Structure 1
């Protein structure tokens, strides 16, 4: 009975494999979150630069 129950659940090896996959996915997720944070910071920097340039153009247009 116990063997059938273990077989139905996939056994200990499958559980270890699943835990390893979860661990790998969690590590990949942490890396992606860090990359996303870096990309977000870069995007915010670019938006600020664009706003500055738009203001410069507006000032130059007023001077003409």
Structure 2
């Protein structure tokens, strides 16, 4: 690391190194794989719910 401008004190330089080291050590969050895709979410919300009862299996094919 090279300081191009200014004249930092040893304490300021130590604080800067500490912040940079802590930032580098922080793990990046993993992508959320449990979330359904946008396509699946669209169809989940657009379908009408099925109601159990006599003859409803026939009605399930006709919206």
Please classify the TM superposition score into its range, dividing by the shorter chain length.
0.3 to 0.5
Bigger Rg, which one:
2
Greater helix fraction, Structure 1 or Structure 2:
1
Structure with more contact order per residue of length (Cα contacts < 8 Å, sep ≥ 6): 2
